[in-house]
């Protein structure tokens, strides 16, 4: 890869360990419509947008409610939970972001979650000030594994895609980063389900490994 000029972070499962919260809320939301999914079925939606997830569930299970109604109900419920129970940064995240800031490397968030949710989580975790740009799922037409969200983040940072590093915890996210011609670090987070991150250029178990890799370049 070229010299690193920018870092792009997924949010859920990378900056905060939110997937367990999401999966519980998804189970609760599905059960209200008579839908029961196991962990493997839930984990296929990790890294995708709420629209993609609910569109798939509505089609597969023939739900009568409109897509907008399903999404609005789920989003409201999720916002209530995250307002009452803020998520802390994952271990080592703040240290990594500090190191990138000191090195003059601009950072962006590229999250499939809607902006209201992303801004709430970043603000509550004390991370918002680290990011020059935030791109969210409701700003793109095509969800991960399409590369659109990462290409938009690179464009907003003013950096060539091939000079960006992406940190992702989902198979969809890794596929999107590689389709965008970016160097991808796969964060193996057990709470994100059994994600196959083998397509990533580098796989790690914690953020301190990324800090070590970056400082050694």
Domain 6-17+87-215 CATH class label: alpha beta
Interval 85-128: pLDDT, tens: 899 999 999 999 999 999 999 999 999 999 999 999 999 999 99
Whole-model pTM over 0.75: yes
In the structure encoding, which two tokens stand for residue 90, read together? 């994952």
**Topology (CATH level 3) of domain 19-84:** DNA polymerase; domain 1 (1.10.150)
Give the residue with greater pLDDT, 22 vs 120.
120
In the structure encoding, which two tokens stand for residue 76, read together? 């409201």
First to last CA, the chain: 12
- Mean of the pLDDT values across residues 69-91? 92
Confidence bin at 40 (pLDDT 50/70/90) = confident
CA atoms of 33 and 31, how far apart (whole Å): 5
> In the predicted model, is pLDDT for residue 169 greater than 80?
yes
169 an active-site residue? no
Other beta carbons within 10 Å of 61: 12
- Mean of the pLDDT values across residues 53-72? 93
Residue the block writes with tokens 């083998």: 198
Whether 135 contacts 108, CB under 8 Å:
yes
Output the pLDDT for position 41: 84
Output the pLDDT for position 1: 61
Give the single-character DSSP code of 89. Answer: B
> In the predicted model, is pLDDT for residue 2 greater than 80?
no
Output the pLDDT for position 179: 98
Whether 126 contacts 139, CB under 8 Å:
no
> In the predicted model, is pLDDT for residue 47 greater than 80?
no
- Mean of the pLDDT values across residues 128-148? 95
Backbone angles phi and psi of 126, in degrees to 5: 70, 25
User: Residue 129 to residues 67, 87, 109, 117, 167: CA-CA distances in angstroms?
Assistant: 34, 16, 11, 16, 18
Q: Where are the domains of the chain?
A: 6-17+87-215, 19-84
**HEC per residue, 103-138:** CCCCEEEEECCCHHHHHHHHHHCCCHHHCCEEEEHH
Which candidate in 10, 12, 17, 169 is catalytic? 10
Confidence bin at 26 (pLDDT 50/70/90) = confident
CA atoms of 43 and 23, how far apart (whole Å): 8
Output the pLDDT for position 24: 87
Percent of the chain with pLDDT over 90: 74
> In the predicted model, is pLDDT for residue 37 greater than 90?
no
């Amino acid at each position: 890869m070229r010299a690193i000029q920018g870092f792009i972070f997924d949010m859920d499962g990378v900056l905060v360990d939110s997937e367990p919260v999401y999966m519980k809320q998804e189970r609760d939301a599905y059960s209200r419509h008579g839908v029961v999914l196991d962990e493997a079925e839930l984990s296929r939606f990790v890294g995708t947008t709420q629209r993609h997830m609910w569109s798939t569930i509505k089609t597969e299970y023939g739900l009568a409610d409109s897509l907008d109604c399903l999404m609005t109900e789920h989003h409201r419920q999720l916002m209530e939970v995250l307002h009452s129970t803020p998520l802390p940064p994952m271990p080592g995240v703040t240290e990594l972001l500090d190191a990138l800031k000191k090195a003059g490397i601009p950072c962006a968030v590229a999250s499939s979650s809607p902006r209201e949710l992303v801004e709430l989580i970043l603000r509550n975790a004390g991370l918002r000030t680290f990011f020059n740009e935030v791109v969210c799922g409701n700003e793109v037409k095509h969800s991960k594994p399409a590369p659109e969200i990462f290409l938009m983040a690179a464009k907003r940072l003013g950096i060539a895609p091939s000079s960006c590093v992406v940190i992702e915890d989902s198979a969809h996210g890794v596929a999107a980063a590689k389709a965008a011609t970016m160097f991808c670090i796969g964060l193996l987070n057990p709470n994100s389900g059994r994600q196959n991150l083998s397509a990533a250029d580098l796989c790690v178990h914690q953020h301190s490994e990324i800090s070590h890799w970056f400082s050694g370049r």
